[in-house]
């Protein structure tokens, strides 16, 4: 392990030195703005296994195109940006030519809703429009739509009008339509992208590709998501699979397990019992792999530009029934990983395209004012890596300090005792020590909920609500209702339950033991259904602590019968009113009793707090 750390430091030093010298060939390169990984990183220990068909896979990038730049692990593991990735792709494409093999690049959806690059646009903009232009410069062979492209019609229309055409028929939306006006001004429902694509690889191998979205139910009006079970019975689908290609490429924004990929797989197998099938999924934000038979493999490659998926497949004679040789790997998305597998020293790694993309993204961040600093966070605050409540818990900080302080600023009701309740899912990402910027605020707390309140609620009544809200959550976990509730959340696009189940299982397997050894950095430790070791670099798993469904501020120092302002977010209004009416009989509260407490929204309070407390 000591040798690995020495190698990592050497690679980092080479990379840093190259930053200072290797830019004479491209006038767009900017010395001062390109950051090296913030700490030394462990390099991979073994090369990738190449085959006849090789695939690089991204999914659920959610706007993380400038990489993860915080110093606390596991963030440095994912410090590569889209420009680095574009350079890596270029070198790997050349490696494929040198090896006389095929290499495809595939993405399976959710391009925005995550960082300021995609979500920090000025009023009147469209989510992801600007950041997507950089993704369009990367030579993807196939891309599939995600559910986040469909929550708002304007975003879906932008994908249909401006993004899909840049893929030249390979932005695949097999079961997704959009309603637009035809030439006569009449509404017509048409595929948002393309139903399928048939093409040949560089080596002339024939591919039939699909792009399937899970059975999503929260799409905006004038968009349509067809059930996967109905899609596979469509005439166009049956016509598309009649001719046998060298392999089928089934991409989709859908987990490779516990979802409907088998419906598509079985429909193809009913016609072509031995043709190789490659499945690339997403949506649940995990690393996963499964083989539905010996002549197929299904891969899912994480989230937030943390993971680059790799798959290889050796082909055999048409009609063979023997198991094919596959490999898969989950690559940590950073320069050390990219340089190792592309066999490029740092001074030779960045391509002109890669540098243009990096600098273009930095310019976009500047245009969106994402580096505006509200204050300096004194420590890391995490969601699942620390118990709640605790001094390290982001949820403790948010409920007990951030919201009370922010809502008291310029608020005429701040002198009235108050108590605040919200859902624990209100925070999306950890906050790390150091500068807390506008981008950090968007990343950590993106949701635009209102702060509401009911006046003259006794303290005892208000504080009685929280345990009942959480007991209702506990009830859901102890009966069959859990499965129904999870399915409802999942159909609407919420994958938090599945993602946290994955993190918890990871920690339970050997978390304490591996962390105690002290010779591995924190990261993902993947246990999937495919043979061999999937992770490219060994890590110790992140600690995991379960969270209550609802959290609250500290209790004000007043008597239990004191009337207070009972503050909550609009997202939980109906449920909270029901519980409040069950814990007291003095009064029946309704929506008419609810008022707006502050003009601030939930995505603004962290910035206000940081300016007050972290300066």
Q: Give the whole-angstrom CA distance, residue 609 versus residue 603.
A: 12
248/170 same-domain check: yes
Q: Which CATH number covers residue 255?
A: 3.60.21.10
20 domain residue, yes or no: yes
Query: What secondary structure letter does DSSP report for 593?
Result: G
115/219 same-domain check: yes
Determine the length of the chain.
615
Q: Give the whole-angstrom CA distance, residue 140 versus residue 408.
A: 49
14-20: list long-range contacts, CB under 8 Å, 24+ apart. 14/345, 14/346, 14/347, 15/335, 15/336, 15/339, 15/346, 17/346, 17/347, 18/345, 18/346, 18/347, 18/349, 19/346
For 552, how many CA atoms within 13 A lie in the half-sphere containing its CB? Answer: 20
Q: Over range 535-560, report the average pLDDT.
A: 97
Residue 38 has a pLDDT of 73
Residue 205 has a pLDDT of 98
Q: Which of 349, 367, 385 is where one domain is finished?
A: 367
Domain of 251, in residue numbers: 2-367
- Please determine, for residue 477, whether its predicted confidence score (pLDDT) is greater than 90: no
- Please determine, for residue 13, whether its predicted confidence score (pLDDT) is greater than 70: no
Q: Which of 131, 110, 107, 132 is nearest to 57 (CA)?
A: 107
395/285 same-domain check: no
450 domain residue, yes or no: yes
Count the Cβ atoms, other than its own, within 10 Å of residue 531.
Answer: 11
336/299 same-domain check: yes
- For 327, the enclosing helix (H) or strand (E) is strand 325-332
517 domain residue, yes or no: no
577 domain residue, yes or no: yes
Residue 37 has a pLDDT of 73
400/469 same-domain check: yes
531 domain residue, yes or no: no
- Please determine, for residue 468, whether its predicted confidence score (pLDDT) is greater than 70: yes
Residue 23 has a pLDDT of 37
336/387 same-domain check: no
DSSP-assigned states of every residue in 18-80: HHHH--TT-TT--GGG-PPPSS--PPPSS-----SEEEEEE---TT-TT----SSTTGGGG--
Q: Which of 306, 339, 367 is where one domain is finished?
A: 367
Residue 36 has a pLDDT of 67
Lowest-pLDDT range, 35-44, 74-83, 176-185, 428-437? 35-44
Q: Over range 356-376, report the average pLDDT.
A: 98
Q: Give the whole-angstrom CA distance, residue 577 versus residue 572.
A: 9
530 domain residue, yes or no: no
Q: Work out the percent of the chain whose per-residue pLDDT is above 90.
A: 88
What's the order of all strands across the beta sheet hosting 102-107? 171-172, 142-144, 102-107, 53-58, 307-314, 325-332
- Please determine, for residue 32, whether its predicted confidence score (pLDDT) is greater than 70: no
- Please determine, for residue 473, whether its predicted confidence score (pLDDT) is greater than 80: no
237/381 same-domain check: no
Q: Which of 327, 349, 367 is where one domain is finished?
A: 367
pTM of the model: 0.92
Residue 346 has a pLDDT of 87
Q: Over range 104-126, report the average pLDDT.
A: 96
- Please determine, for residue 8, whether its predicted confidence score (pLDDT) is greater than 70: no
532 domain residue, yes or no: no
387/354 same-domain check: no
- Please determine, for residue 24, whether its predicted confidence score (pLDDT) is greater than 60: no
359/404 same-domain check: no
Domains: count for the chain: 2
Q: Which CATH number covers residue 469?
A: 3.90.780.10
392/294 same-domain check: no
Tell me the pLDDT band of 335, cut-offs 50, 70 and 90.
very high
Tell me the pLDDT band of 488, cut-offs 50, 70 and 90.
confident
Residue 16 has a pLDDT of 37
249/306 same-domain check: yes
Tell me the pLDDT band of 35, cut-offs 50, 70 and 90.
low
Tell me the pLDDT band of 130, cut-offs 50, 70 and 90.
very high
335 domain residue, yes or no: yes
Q: pLDDT tens-digit profile of 392-425?
A: 999 999 999 999 999 999 999 999 999 999 999 9
Residue 481 has a pLDDT of 62
Lowest-pLDDT range, 5-14, 263-272, 584-593, 604-613? 5-14
- Do 342 and 93 touch, CB atoms closer than 8 A? no
Q: pLDDT tens-digit profile of 218-248?
A: 999 999 999 999 999 999 999 999 999 999 9
Tell me the pLDDT band of 290, cut-offs 50, 70 and 90.
very high
338/434 same-domain check: no
Calculate the CA 111 to chain-centre distance: 9
- Please determine, for residue 555, whether its predicted confidence score (pLDDT) is greater than 90: yes
Mean pLDDT, the chain, whole residue set: 92
């Amino acid at each position: 392990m000591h040798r690995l750390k020495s190698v990592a430091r050497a690679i980092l030093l080479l990379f840093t030195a190259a930053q200072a010298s290797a830019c004479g060939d491209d006038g767009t390169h900017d010395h001062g703005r390109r950051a090296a990984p913030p700490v030394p990183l462990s390099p991979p220990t073994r090369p990738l296994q190449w085959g006849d068909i090789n695939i690089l896979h991204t999914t659920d990038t959610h706007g993380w195109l400038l990489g993860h730049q915080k110093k606390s692990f596991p963030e440095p593991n994912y410090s590569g940006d889209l420009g680095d990735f574009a350079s890596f792709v270029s070198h790997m494409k050349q490696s494929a030519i040198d090896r006389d093999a095929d290499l495809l690049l595939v993405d399976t959806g959710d391009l925005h809703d995550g960082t300021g690059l995609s979500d920090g646009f000025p009023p009147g903009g469209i989510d992801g429009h600007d950041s997507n232009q950089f993704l369009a410069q990367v030579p993807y062979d196939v891309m599939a739509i995600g559910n986040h492209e469909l929550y708002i019609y304007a975003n879906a229309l932008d994908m249909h009008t401006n993004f899909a055409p840049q893929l030249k028929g390979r932005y695949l939306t097999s079961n997704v339509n959009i309603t637009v006006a035809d030439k006569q001004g009449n509404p017509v429902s048409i595929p948002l992208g393309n139903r399928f694509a048939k093409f040949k690889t560089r080596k002339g191998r024939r591919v039939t590709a699909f792009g399937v979205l899970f059975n999503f139910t929260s799409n905006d009006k004038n968009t349509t998501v067809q059930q996967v079970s109905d899609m596979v019975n469509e005439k166009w689908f049956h016509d598309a699979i009649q001719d046998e290609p060298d392999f089928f490429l089934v991409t989709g924004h859908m987990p490779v397990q516990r979802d409907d990929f088998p419906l598509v797989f079985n429909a193809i197998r009913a016609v072509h019992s031995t043709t190789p099938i490659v499945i690339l999924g997403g949506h649940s934000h995990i690393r996963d792999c499964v083989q539905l038979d010996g002549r197929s493999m299904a891969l899912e490659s994480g989230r937030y530009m943390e993971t680059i998926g790799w798959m290889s497949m050796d082909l055999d004679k048409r009609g063979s029934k023997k198991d094919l040789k596959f490999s898969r790997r989950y690559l940590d998305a950073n320069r050390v990983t990219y340089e190792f597998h592309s066999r490029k020293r740092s001074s030779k790694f960045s391509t002109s395209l890669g540098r243009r993309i990096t600098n273009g993204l930095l310019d976009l961040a500047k245009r969106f004012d994402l580096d505006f600093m509200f204050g300096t966070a004194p420590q890391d605050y995490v969601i699942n890596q620390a118990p709640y409540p605790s001094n390290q818990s982001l949820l403790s900080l948010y409920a007990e300090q951030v919201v009370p302080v922010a809502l008291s600023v310029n608020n005429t009701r701040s002198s009235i005792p108050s108590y605040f309740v919200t859902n624990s899912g209100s925070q999306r990402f950890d906050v790390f020590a150091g500068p807390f910027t506008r981008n950090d605020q968007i990343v950590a707390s993106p949701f635009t909920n209102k702060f509401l309140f009911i006046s003259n609620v006794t303290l005892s009544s208000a504080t009685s609500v929280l345990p009942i809200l959480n007991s209702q959550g506990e009830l859901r976990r102890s009966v069959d209702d859990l499965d129904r509730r999870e399915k409802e959340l999942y159909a609407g696009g919420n994958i938090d339950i599945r993602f946290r189940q994955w993190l918890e299982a990871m920690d339970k397997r050997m978390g304490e033991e591996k962390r105690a050894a002290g010779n591995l950095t924190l990261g993902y430790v993947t246990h999937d259904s495919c043979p061999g070791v999937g992770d490219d670099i060994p890590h110790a798993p992140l600690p995991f602590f379960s969270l209550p469904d609802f959290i609250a501020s500290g209790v004000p120092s007043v008597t239990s019968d004191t009337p207070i302002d009972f503050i909550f977010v609009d997202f939980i209004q109906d449920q909270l009113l029901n519980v409040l009416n069950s814990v007291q009989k003095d009064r029946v509260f309704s929506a008419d009793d609810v008022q707006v407490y502050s003009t601030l929204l939930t995505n603004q309070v962290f910035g206000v707090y940081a300016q007050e407390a972290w300066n």
